[in-house]
Amino acid sequence: MADTDAEARRLSWSTRTLLACLARTGAAPDVPTVDVAAREPTQAEKDTLTVIDGRRPRLLAGGPTTVRDQIEQMTKATGVQGVMVQEVVADPAARAHSRALPAQALGVAPAAVAAP
């Protein structure tokens, strides 16, 4: 998740590239930066927004309103009481920001992370 749908799509290139590599080789490399990942997916893959079409999407990518709406649609359809959000973002600052946005968008407090 990012501040806008466009920025979230751009950040999702890392995830899309990682998943494509895993599917091709059976091994997952380090999470590629957005700049490295920009060379891998086709432009059509980069521009594709995640849409819920009756199936569970592989990933959600969007701004706060887009992702909130997708999560709410999924939770209503499945009846779950909670969700866990995982992001694959190579840049630490963008990852930290991405982690904070879902809780803000849904109006909930994030669960505390146990110390290692």
Tell me the per-residue pLDDT of 5-25, one tens digit each, with 9 for 90 and over. Answer: 989 888 888 888 887 788 788
Decide if 82 is inside a domain: yes
Residue 11 lies in a domain: yes
**Is 75 a domain residue?**
yes
Q: Is residue 116 part of a domain?
A: no
Average of pLDDT values for 62-73? 89
Owning domain of residue 9: 5-106
Residue 115 lies in a domain: no
Residue 113 domain-assigned (yes or no): no
Q: What is the pLDDT of residue 71?
A: 87
| Residue 56 placed within a domain | yes
**H, E, C per residue of the chain:** CCCCHHHHHHHHHHHHHHHHHHHHHCCCCCCCCHHHHCCCCCHHHHHCCCCCCCCCCCCCCCCHHHHHHHHHHHHHHHCCCCCCCCCCCCCHHHHHHHHHHHHHHHCCCCCCCCCC
The number of distinct structural domains making up the chain is 1
pTM over 0.95: no
